[in-house]
Structure 1
């Protein structure tokens, strides 16, 4: 069986990554269609050894398309995803538009693959926030073993999570510093080069940012609504790769040795944990990789049953493109989706 797949937002960071992941994983495609806004029609993107020219999302007919990987932003998704789903094309949406919709499953295949069957409600499946995706991959096997009560997480998120303009801004500011040019901050509220910014997304009334709220709400929906979680999300001058410092309180005892063994067997996880200089993973090494890396596994002595972890992943892959493609693979492997009959 082969499927016709459309990529909405094909010229963006995540859209291009989706095309790469589809090719790398040899996803069973009959045809791949690159879609973008009217101003990007005709732009070329790569899919394996092929070059695709972008077509206009606004007038594309999804009637004979099986899957749409949507990475065009929340506003575009809210406007188009329900219409696409009504055509019988499953939308796997990378934006926050439908994540908390009770009729839309929010999926990380290593964690809650069974929930994907709920796509039939609206023919939409939501991809979680990039920082949430890697976190729950690491939490799930530990939760199954010792039951997580509370999580405290601080993130160190790369600029690619804010799009190509953010990556360009980090590059331009870094260059400006070296050549003593004026530094302009457009995408971020403060200079990002050689700095860290403790704000991702807008502030809410309680003082948390929306990114921090997303991590809490999404973890509850994906993993367990009883888990208490507090996050501090920070933008750092790294191009690709999100890192997280995670402190976990469990109901039952679990040692670092047990956790290390459990995580080594967990799907999607690679443990790199040598207690020596360099015996851990950084975002530089995780860039371009599919795994969620876990390092620095140790006791948290501030609570009765506590562990501390360091979690790193490529946010463009596991945090977005890879997870979306894995969702599509899950639909197919569970025989929940069959190709549409198309005229010869």
Structure 2
């Protein structure tokens, strides 16, 4: 199995909704929402990939890091490496209808269980989308974060209770879904959340609450002061606001203020284990990957997802050797030169989420 095979099979199985591009960069699918692309011109998606490619690492091989430790801990769960599949749903509208919602959720949940990773489940306009992830969690027992759209407070709390009963390790709300037109048109309540609403939601559960879609220091501060235990630096894969900044560009400032205060996750444009290392060095505690995982699932089911994620782990391990990085709790400095960012990885870190 290799990525070319996965891409070819996925292109067929997704009815060409995804072209299975060699470089998944958002250009061929620009504007295809619903679908797998970025909204409008697609620049939000494209810039995530483009900006991360401008981040460079110092090559270092005269050191004692011979066997780096890529394992981590997320909300008390030991994981083999700090990568999670993104919460994804909408099989018919976004991915061509090859899988049912439950089939897709089950593939990802089982792959995570076998690889000792944390799974994330999704929510969406169709109730089957949320229910599929819950059933996958129940049937596998995989450690998980259950994400809920920014619905009305009462409905969010009801869904949190469902997540608790399913055995979730944490719950999340993808607040960047506040303007999802498909949900608004179907009469479902989604929208921004003020501080009082956040506090009511967060205080309703003993589980850690993660807010996904945080792109500024100001909103990270609101999340922290409202009681959130984690945030996801995310622009929803460029699928909600065409002109959004790239996640890797805003991550360092957010991490500078809130590292060790909250768990910091990030998504957007990650296409390799080297990209995972870049995001960790920019300040993330763990990295979330979306479209490549969906391609791998459609191209090779569980084996495809496992192959992709194992490949990321191998690439991360190799990159850590070649940068003198002993473990994933990274301390680094950032320098700018021209249009590029250079990351200088320093001594061992100690923080675990």
TM-score (norm 1): 0.29
Higher strand share: 1
Query: Which structure has greater helix proportion?
Result: 2
Query: Which protein, 1 or 2, shows the higher relative CO under an 8 Å CA cutoff with sep ≥ 6?
Result: 2
Structure 2 length-normalised TM: 0.28
